[in-house]
């Protein structure tokens, strides 16, 4: 058992899971450094966890039935059709997922962390200084602290990743994701236009919008969570990597807003136009789609989890799953190793291939659904099924790979 000091940089979903993993593995002291000073529980965006991955993560102690969720069973593709308010369904595929509200899931993970773990809000890590037997964190204000192991859970702009020898940077995918959440009671009629357990995909030339229900803030009610993918009309209007966390409407250039309106007006069935238009502006934001895959998940006394290690395009349906799996495998490696070097090497060997696989799938699905989208209206059920098999290469990593890496039997 390794009983030294462990720092976790970043206190969101990946960071909370990593802190719990380090504490359960026997670390003598665990401290989380979260840049944000305020609470994270009010983040109301949606995420989904595949049913099979849920079972594994529940067994690992990261998820449980008490966290509010909505069952999803199918995903349909819909195109605009004359005389049809809700559009025409091209076809549908199985979609066995549980949807969550990000804030509720974070709150549940945060509550699982033992009281012995320090959690410092409003503490930015400005630099990570690795050494042969540990690493020093330089915090805002000049304070420095040394740790035996530093876990980078600080997302796509990771300070921990920047301290590695081959510090990778996210690459722009060439398109944007518009996100919004509309409370269930504000949905337009008729009620039967969209089944409760259905993830609807509104398809149009050059992109699509996926919509599914999620629990409302604090687990009360439900909301329609939508994500709209399309490239800007002019590539020069793309957002920068600094905007990858998302921009509120007040900061989105009018050129992008106008393009979004044009696509909705020209290609969406009336029902789905209303879903977008009724969504309050303060419940929407836009982000450029980036991806990233590091060559190593572990180096020296530094390890990376979640988006600090691999940023996959959202089409994979496995962002939260990957972060929780990273933490699960890290716990196994820390608990079973005789030295920090052995633990880091075992974790790197287990998770680097998994990260590479999910990022590769995201790129394939992004090309198939946005960058080289098919003529959706010409498809039927058999054509949809054949297209999906090609796009996902069998779907083996869609929703996340099976959690079988990092086990030390």
Token pair for residue 303?
A: 């390890």
CA distances from 347 to 304, 341, 399, 405, 409 (A): 10, 10, 21, 9, 14
Whether 3 shows a pLDDT value over 70: the answer reads yes
The reported pLDDT for the residue numbered 405 is 45
Whether 399 shows a pLDDT value over 60: the answer reads yes
Question: Beta strands 144-147 and 46-50: pairing type?
Answer: unpaired
For residue 246, is it left (φ>0), alpha (ψ between -120 and 50) or beta? left
Question: How large is the greatest C-alpha to C-alpha distance in the chain, in angstroms?
Answer: 69
Closest CA to 215 of 48, 404, 371: 48
User: Is-above-0.85 flag for pTM?
Assistant: yes
The reported pLDDT for the residue numbered 277 is 96
Q: What is the mean pLDDT of the chain?
A: 92
Domains of the chain: 5-40+104-170+291-373 (3.50.50.60), 70-101+173-290 (3.30.9.60)
CA angle 277, 282, 288 (to 5 degrees): 85
Q: How confident is the model at residue 394 (pLDDT cuts 50, 70, 90)?
A: low
CA distances from 163 to 9, 159, 178, 301, 309 (A): 13, 7, 32, 11, 13
Q: How confident is the model at residue 112 (pLDDT cuts 50, 70, 90)?
A: very high
pLDDT tens across 6-46, in order?
999 999 999 999 999 999 999 999 999 999 987 776 776 89
Q: How confident is the model at residue 265 (pLDDT cuts 50, 70, 90)?
A: very high
In this prediction, residues 310-335 reach a mean pLDDT of: 94
Cα–Cα dist 110/255, whole Å: 39
Whether 306 shows a pLDDT value over 50: the answer reads yes
The reported pLDDT for the residue numbered 396 is 60
The reported pLDDT for the residue numbered 395 is 56
Q: How confident is the model at residue 191 (pLDDT cuts 50, 70, 90)?
A: low
The reported pLDDT for the residue numbered 409 is 32
Question: Beta strands 29-33 and 118-120: pairing type?
Answer: parallel
pLDDT tens across 49-107, in order?
999 999 999 999 999 999 999 999 999 999 999 999 999 999 999 999 999 999 999 99
Are 331 and 21 spatial neighbours (Cβ–Cβ below 8 Å)?
yes
Closest CA to 155 of 332, 33, 48, 277: 33
In this prediction, residues 386-405 reach a mean pLDDT of: 81
Whether 207 shows a pLDDT value over 90: the answer reads yes
Q: Kindly report which listed range (57-66, 230-239, 383-392, 394-403) carries the lowest average pLDDT score.
A: 394-403
The reported pLDDT for the residue numbered 197 is 96
Cα–Cα dist 25/266, whole Å: 55
- Collect all residues with Cβ–Cβ distance below 8 Å to 280 and sequence separation of at least 6: 182
Cα–Cα dist 218/159, whole Å: 31
The reported pLDDT for the residue numbered 407 is 39
pLDDT tens across 114-128, in order?
999 999 999 999 999
Whether 1 shows a pLDDT value over 90: the answer reads no
């Amino acid at each position: 058992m390794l009983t030294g000091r462990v720092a976790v940089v970043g206190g969101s979903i990946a960071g909370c899971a990593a802190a719990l993993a380090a504490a359960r593995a026997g670390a003598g002291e665990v401290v989380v450094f979260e840049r944000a000073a305020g609470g994270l529980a009010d983040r109301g965006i949606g995420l989904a966890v595949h049913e099979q991955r849920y079972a594994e993560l529940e067994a690992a102690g990261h998820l449980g039935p008490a966290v509010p969720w909505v069952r999803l069973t199918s995903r349909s593709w819909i195109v605009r059709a004359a005389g049809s308010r809700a559009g025409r369904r091209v076809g549908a595929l199985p979609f066995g997922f549980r949807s969550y509200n990000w804030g509720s899931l974070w709150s549940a993970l945060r509550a699982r962390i033992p009281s012995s773990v320090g959690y410092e809000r409003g503490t930015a890590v400005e630099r990570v200084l690795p050494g042969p037997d540990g690493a020093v964190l330089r915090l805002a204000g000049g304070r420095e602290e040394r740790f035996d192991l530093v876990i980078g859970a600080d997302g796509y702009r990771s300070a921990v990743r920047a301290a590695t020898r081959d510090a990778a940077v996210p690459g722009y995918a060439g398109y944007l994701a518009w996100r919004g959440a509309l409370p269930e009671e504000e949905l337009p009629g008729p009620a039967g236009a969209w089944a409760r357990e259905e993830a609807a995909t509104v398809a149009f030339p050059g992109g699509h919008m996926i919509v599914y229900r999620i629990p409302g803030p604090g687990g009360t009610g439900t909301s329609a969570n939508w994500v709209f993918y399309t490239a800007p009309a002019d590539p020069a209007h793309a957002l920068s990597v600094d905007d990858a966390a998302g921009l509120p409407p007040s900061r989105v250039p009018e050129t992008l807003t106008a393009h979004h309106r044009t696509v909705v007006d020209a290609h969406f069935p009336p029902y789905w136009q209303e879903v977008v238009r009724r969504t309050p502006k303060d419940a929407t934001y836009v982000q450029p789609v980036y991806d990233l895959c590091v060559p190593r998940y572990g180096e020296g006394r530094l390890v990376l989890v979640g988006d600090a290690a691999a940023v996959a395009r959202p089409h994979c349906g496995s962002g939260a799953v990957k972060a929780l799996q990273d933490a699960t495998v890290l716990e196994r490696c820390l608990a079973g190793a005789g030295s920090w070097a052995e633990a880091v090497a075992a974790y790197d060997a287990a998770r680097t291939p998994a990260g590479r696989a999910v990022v590769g799938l995201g790129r394939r699905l992004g090309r198939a659904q946005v960058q080289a989208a098919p003529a959706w209206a010409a498809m039927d059920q058999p054509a949809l099924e054949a297209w999906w098999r090609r796009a996902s290469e069998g779907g083996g990593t869609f929703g996340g790979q099976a959690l079988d890496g990092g086990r030390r039997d």
